[in-house]
Amino acid sequence: MANEKFLDAITSRDVDFAQWYTDVVRKAKLCEYTSIKGCMVYMPAGYAIWENIQKNLDARFKATGVKNVYMPMLIPESLLNKEKDHVNGFAPEVAWVTMGGANPLEEKLCIRPTSETLFCEHFAKNLNSYRDLPMVYNQWCSVLRWEKTTRPFLRSKEFLWQEGHTIHETSEEAKDRTKMMLDIYHDFVENDLAIPVIWGQKTESEKFAGAEATYTIEALMHDGKALQSATSHYFGDGFSKAFDVKFIDKNNKYVNPFQTSWGLSTRIIGAIIMVHGDDDGLVLPPHIAPIKSMIIPIGHNKPEILEVANKIYDELKKQGMVVDIDLSDKTPGYKFSNQEVQGIPTRIEIGPRDLENGVVTIVRRDNREKISISLEDVTTKLPEILKQMQKDMYQKAKEHLESHIYEAHNMDELINTFNEKSGFVKAMWCGDEACEDEIKAKTGGATSRCIPFNEEGISEKCVCCGKDAKHLVYFGKAY
Amino acid sequence: MANEKFLDAITSRDVDFAQWYTDVVRKAKLCEYTSIKGCMVYMPAGYAIWENIQKNLDARFKATGVKNVYMPMLIPESLLNKEKDHVNGFAPEVAWVTMGGANPLEEKLCIRPTSETLFCEHFAKNLNSYRDLPMVYNQWCSVLRWEKTTRPFLRSKEFLWQEGHTIHETSEEAKDRTKMMLDIYHDFVENDLAIPVIWGQKTESEKFAGAEATYTIEALMHDGKALQSATSHYFGDGFSKAFDVKFIDKNNKYVNPFQTSWGLSTRIIGAIIMVHGDDDGLVLPPHIAPIKSMIIPIGHNKPEILEVANKIYDELKKQGMVVDIDLSDKTPGYKFSNQEVQGIPTRIEIGPRDLENGVVTIVRRDNREKISISLEDVTTKLPEILKQMQKDMYQKAKEHLESHIYEAHNMDELINTFNEKSGFVKAMWCGDEACEDEIKAKTGGATSRCIPFNEEGISEKCVCCGKDAKHLVYFGKAY
C-alpha cells in the first residue's frame, strides 16, 4: 500500500474551465481521441451514460407512437442536392466516399451528416394515401460532419444521436409533433439530467438548413456559456415538395405532407459534465448515473466488514439498484477519489467503528453530505437520498441559471454585460439579421440563442438599431 | 368494404424459394432497398425484431461482464494495414473516404468492415498492467463491405451487428471467452429464435482473416442451404503483437495479451425468415416477436364486441404483454392475412357467435390451431399457448434439420447426395485445403461448414483423396 498514490489532481474549474473539462473527461474515462483527428472512442463509462439516455428517451418516444428504423449511412450526392437550403448547409462539411474496394464510384456518396434526404426518399416510396399517415420514425445512429475544431462530446467529426423524422396530413398536426418532441426533450433534460433550460424558437439565421421553424432548449454551463441541448424542426412541406413526397388526400387529390425532424446527441453528455461537475470530477444526476452507489469497505480484509459490504451489495442489487463494490487493495482515500472522479452519486462507507454501532455512512457526491444510516435502513434510505440529490442538483443548477440571466436595453449595456459577466442576456430585437451580426461582432461572439416561448417585453425598441422591436431574444456565447 | 381485396399472394416457397423470400421481406415490410445498390432501410417491423435481438443478447453479454463502447466508423489506411492477413481479407471490399468537405484527405480512410484494428489501437493506449485485464468490450453498430451481389438481410453493403472484442492475460482465459460467447449465441439462437444449429470449428480456409481459430453456429434453412449464424474467434496474440498491445505481467515483464472477437448480425433475421416462414408470410418465434398477438374484433362496429376487444387489450397490456388491436375497417379475411404475413405469433378473434358463448378464438400462426378460450382465461392461457408454440417451432425446425443431415463415405456418394438432396453432408476429411477446393468444385459449391464439437468417426479415410482422415466435417451449400 505504501507506493499507492491518490489520483492526479484535476485543474480547478475556476482557474481554467477548458482544461478542467478535458481533465474530467480523461480522468472519468468517458472518451478518448483516436488517430483520426476529431473522432472519439466512447469508453465504457461514457457509453453507459449514453445507453441510459437512450433507454429513457426511447421509452418516452415510443409512448407517443414513434417507431424506430435504420437508414443507410451513405447518401448519393444527387439525393443530397435535392433541397437547396439543406445542401448549402451541409455539403461543405461532409465526408465523401469515392471508392468501393479498388474501384472509383460513378457517383460519390457522402456519409450522412443528418438523414432528412434518406427519410424523404423512403417516404416518397411508401406513402400512398392519407390512411398511411402519420409516419412517425426515429433512428439511433452516428452521423459525421467534417469539423475542423473539435472537443470531446461537444464537437466531434462523428457523433452519436437520435434523429426523428415524421410526416403528417396537416401542418397543424406536424406543428403539434414538433412541439411535443421539444416538450419531451425539455422534460427529460430538466427531470432526468437535472439541467434547467430556457426554451423557445430559433431566429431565421440560427434555424436548421431547410426548416421553416426550429425550436430549441438551451442550457447554461457553469462557465456561463450556452449549450444548445436539443432541437425540433418544423419543415412545412418544403422537403416533401423537393423530394416529391405526396399522398392522395380525403378529397382524392394529390398533396404533399407536412414534416418534422428532431434530435438530441451525445453533446448532452458535455452539458452534464459542465453543469454538474466540480473540481473532483464528474457529478452524475442519480436518474442517469449508470452506477448509483459505490460500496467501499474500509479495512476490507476484515471478514466481518466484507460480509456486511457484500450483504448490502446483494440486497441493493436484489431491489434492482445498480451498485458496485470496490474490493481492490487500494487505500480508502484512493477509493473515495476514484468514486468521486467518476461521478457515482453516492458511496457507502463501511468502517470498523461504524460497524460497532450498527451503522454505515452514505456520502453524497454533490454536496459531500455524510449521512449515518443504520444497517437495516440502507435499502430504504438510499433511494430517498438519491431522490433528494436529484432534486437538489436541479435546484442548484436552476439558481445558477437564474443568477446568470441579465437584461440589456441598449448596445452599451449589452456589450458591457458580455464583457463583465457570463450568462444569458435578454434584449429586444427588431427581427433583422444585420442586428444579430452586429451584436455578434461587438460582443465577441454572442449569438441569439432563442426567442423564448414566454416572451416578456422589456422595451419597445431593438437593442441594436433602435427600430421597433419584434421579439425578446436570449443572447449568449455558445459552445 | 366491397372493393377491399386480400393481400397479394406470396410466391410458393416450394415453387421458387428465392422469390418467396423476397416476397415475404417485402410484404411483411421488413426492409427495402435504397437508391444505393445493396444498402437497405430497416423498416419498423424489421428493426423491431433487431431491437428485441439486441435487448436479449445485450443482457446476456452484460451478465458475463461485457461492457459496451463505441469506436469510430472510420479507419485510416495505415491502421488497417497493420495486420497482414486481416488487411488481405478486408481491403478488397471496403469503401474509402477520400475527401472531407471540399478537400482531399492526406490519408484515405475506410468505413469499418469490422473493428479489430480500432480496438487494438484503443487497447494499446489503455493497457498497462495485468491488473487492467481482462478488457471485455462490445459495440452495436453498422459495418460496410462493398459486396457486389446483395440480398435483403443476407448480404448487404451496410449491415447492423454487434462485435465483441476482448483481451486477456492468458491464452486459456481468451479461449474460454471464445467458447463462452459461442455458447451464448448457441443458447440464444436455439431457445429464443427456435433455430436449431450445428456447431463447431471452421477449417483453416474458412476461418476469419487474422484468427487462430474460428468457431461457428450453422443453421439450416428450409431450402436445405446452410447459414452461418454467428461466429466467435480466438486470435492468440497475433493482433496484439502486430498492434504492439502489451502489459506488465505479474513477473514484471512486458508481454502481449491474448485476444478474441465475436459477432452476430442482422443476417440472423434472414435465418428467422427462411427457417420458420411459410407460404402466408413470416412466422416469428414468440420470444422474439415484437407483437405477441393481434386482437381482431369481427364485426368491429358492434359496441359489445369492441368493448370486449378493448378489455382484453388492456388486460394483456397491463400484464406486460405487447399486443395490438386491428380496428381498421377492413374485412376479417384481410385482417387475418395481414396478421399472418407479418408473422405475429397469435391472433385473438372476437366474433359475435363466440361472444354469445363467452369465449374467444386464439389462432396460432405456426400451425393454424384454433383454440377456444373462455373470456376470463385469455390472460393466463395466451402465455401458455405462446410458450408451447415456441417449443413446437423449435421441434419442427429440429426435425427438419435432422432429416436433412446425410453421410458420404466417398466422392460419388458426396456428389450424388448434393445432386439429389439438400442439407448438410457429413464426411471425413484429411485436413488438406486442396480437398475442400475439389469438393466445392465437384458439388457445385458445397463448402466445409464446420468440424463439429462432438466429432464422430464415420470412416478412416478422407472422402476426397482417400488419405488418412483427420476430422469429420459438415459440408453444405451456404448463403
Pick the closest to residue B405 from B476, B472, B455 (CA basis). B476
Query: What confidence tens digit (pLDDT) does each residue in A431-472 have?
Result: 999 999 999 999 999 999 999 998 888 999 999 999 999 999
Own/partner pairs, A349-352, CB within 8 angstroms, 24+ separation? A349/A296, A349/A298, A350/A295, A350/A296, A350/A297, A350/A298, A350/A305, A350/A308, A350/A309, A350/A312, A351/A298, A351/A299, A351/A305, A352/A298, A352/A299, A352/A302, A352/A305
* Chain A CB within 8 Å of residue B52 CB: no
The gap from C-alpha A71 to its chain's centroid, in whole angstroms, comes to 22
Work out the minimum CA distance from B458 to partner chain A, whole angstroms.
43
Query: What confidence tens digit (pLDDT) does each residue in A359-371 have?
Result: 999 999 999 999 9
Tell me which residue in B67, B93, B122 faces A41 most closely, judged by beta carbons.
B122
Rounded Cα–Cα distance for residues B20 and B11 (Å)? 5
Rounded Cα–Cα distance for residues B139 and B240 (Å)? 19
Q: Which of A95-99, A417-421, B1-5, B76-80 has the lowest mean pLDDT?
A: B1-5
Query: What confidence tens digit (pLDDT) does each residue in A396-422 have?
Result: 999 999 999 999 999 999 999 999 999
Rounded Cα–Cα distance for residues A74 and B357 (Å)? 57
Query: What confidence tens digit (pLDDT) does each residue in B285-334 have?
Result: 999 999 999 999 997 678 999 999 999 999 999 999 999 999 998 999 99
Q: Which chain A residues touch B141 with a CB distance below 8 Å?
A: 142
Contact B137 A79 (CB under 8 A): no
Q: What is the pLDDT of residue B6?
A: 52
In the numeric block, which cell numbers belong to residue A271?
Answer: 452539458
**Would you say how long chain B is, in residues?**
479
Q: What is the pLDDT of residue B5?
A: 44
Amino acid identity of A384? E
Q: Which chain A residues touch B93 with a CB distance below 8 Å?
A: 101
Rounded Cα–Cα distance for residues A427 and A476 (Å)? 11
Contact B102 A92 (CB under 8 A): yes
In the numeric block, which cell numbers belong to residue A31?
Answer: 472518451
Rounded Cα–Cα distance for residues A169 and A184 (Å)? 22
Contact B79 A108 (CB under 8 A): no
Q: Which chain B residues touch A98 with a CB distance below 8 Å?
A: 96-99
Rounded Cα–Cα distance for residues B225 and B206 (Å)? 17
Q: Which chain A residues touch B40 with a CB distance below 8 Å?
A: 72
Contact B101 A109 (CB under 8 A): no
Contact B76 A36 (CB under 8 A): yes
Residue in B78, B96, B137, B328 to test binding to A, most A beta-carbons within 10 Å: B96
* Chain A CB within 8 Å of residue B76 CB: yes
pLDDT level of residue A84 (50, 70, 90 thresholds) = confident
For chain A, the three-class secondary structure string (H helix, E strand, C coil) is CCCCCCCCCCCCCCCCHHHHHHHHHHHCCCEEECCCCCCEEECHHHHHHHHHHHHHHHHHHHHCCCEECECCCEEEHHHHCCCHHHHHHHHHHCEEEEEECCEEEEEEEEECCCCHHHHHHHHHHHCCEHHHCCEEEEEEEEEECCCCCCECCCECCEEEEEEEEEEECCHHHHHHHHHHHHHHHHHHHHHCCCCCEEEEECCHHHCCCCCCEEEEEEEECCCCCEEEEEEEEEEECHHHHHCCCCEECCCCCEECCEEEEEEEECHHHHHHHHHHCECCECCCCCCCCCCCEEEEECCCCCHHHHHHHHHHHHHHHHCCCCEEECCCCCCHHHHHHHHHHCCCCEEEEECHHHHHCCEEEEEECCCCCEEEEEHHHHHHHHHHHHHHHHHHHHHHHHHHHHCCEEECCCHHHHHHHHHHCCCEEEEEECCCHHHHHHHHHHCCCCEEEEEECCCCCCCCECCCCCCECCEEEEEECEC
Work out the minimum CA distance from A50 to partner chain B, whole angstroms.
10
* Chain B CB within 8 Å of residue A252 CB: no
Query: What confidence tens digit (pLDDT) does each residue in A295-341 have?
Result: 999 976 789 999 999 999 999 999 999 999 999 989 999 999 999 99
More confident residue, A87 or B178: B178
Contact B146 A100 (CB under 8 A): yes
Contact A41 B96 (CB under 8 A): no
Which helix (H) or strand (E) segment is B416 a member of? helix B411-420
Maximum Cα interatomic distance, chain B, rounded to a whole number of Å = 83
For domain A17-276, which architecture applies?
2-Layer Sandwich (3.30)
Q: Inform me whether the pLDDT recorded for A136 exceeds 90.
A: yes
A293-389 classified as CATH 3.40.1010.10:
no
| Ramachandran class of B111: left when φ > 0, alpha when ψ lies in -120 to 50, beta otherwise | beta
Report the CATH superfamily, name and number, of domain B293-385: Anticodon-binding domain (3.40.50.800)
Rounded Cα–Cα distance for residues A472 and B478 (Å)? 66
* Chain B CB within 8 Å of residue A73 CB: yes
Contact B70 A36 (CB under 8 A): no
Place of cell 392522395: A248
Q: Inform me whether the pLDDT recorded for B254 exceeds 70.
A: yes
Show which of residues 434-473 on chain B sit within 8 Å of chain A, judged by CB atoms: none
Q: Inform me whether the pLDDT recorded for A35 exceeds 90.
A: no
Q: What is the pLDDT of residue B7?
A: 59
Q: What is the mean pLDDT of residues B231-247?
A: 97
Work out the minimum CA distance from A285 to partner chain B, whole angstroms.
21
Q: Inform me whether the pLDDT recorded for A2 exceeds 50.
A: no
Q: Inform me whether the pLDDT recorded for A6 exceeds 60.
A: no
Phi, psi values for residue B215, rounded to 5°: -110, 150
In chain B, domain spans:
17-276, 293-385, 405-476
* Chain A CB within 8 Å of residue B43 CB: yes
Tell me which residue in B41, B74, B160 faces A122 most closely, judged by beta carbons.
B41
Q: Inform me whether the pLDDT recorded for A5 exceeds 50.
A: no
More confident residue, B230 or A353: B230
Contact B101 A92 (CB under 8 A): yes
Model pTM score = 0.96
Q: What is the pLDDT of residue B4?
A: 40
Q: What is the pLDDT of residue B3?
A: 34
Contact A35 B79 (CB under 8 A): yes
Query: What confidence tens digit (pLDDT) does each residue in B76-98 have?
Result: 999 999 888 888 888 889 999 99
Cβ–Cβ under 8 Å, residues B302 and B352:
yes
Rounded Cα–Cα distance for residues A191 and B46 (Å)? 33
pLDDT level of residue B122 (50, 70, 90 thresholds) = very high
Residue of A nearest to B66 (CA): A44
Contact B158 A42 (CB under 8 A): no
* Chain A CB within 8 Å of residue B137 CB: yes
Query: What confidence tens digit (pLDDT) does each residue in A262-306 have?
Result: 999 999 999 999 999 999 999 999 999 999 999 999 976 789 999
Query: What confidence tens digit (pLDDT) does each residue in A109-134 have?
Result: 999 999 999 999 999 999 999 999 99
* Chain A CB within 8 Å of residue B149 CB: no
Q: Which chain A residues touch B326 with a CB distance below 8 Å?
A: none
Tell me which residue in A36, A69, A160 faces B70 most closely, judged by beta carbons.
A160
Sheet with A74-76: strands ordered across = A74-76, A103-111, A95-100, B95-100, B103-111, B74-76
Residue of B nearest to A30 (CA): B69
DSSP letters, B179-211, are HHHHHHHHHHHHHTS---EEEEE--GGGS-TT-
* Chain B CB within 8 Å of residue A255 CB: no
Contact B74 A122 (CB under 8 A): no
Residue of A nearest to B100 (CA): A95
**Tell me, what's the ipTM?**
0.95
Q: What is the CATH number of domain B405-476?
A: 3.30.110.30
Contact B72 A32 (CB under 8 A): no
* Summary mean pLDDT of chain B: 95
Place of cell 487494438: B120
**Peptide bond before B92: cis, by omega within 30 degrees of 0?**
no
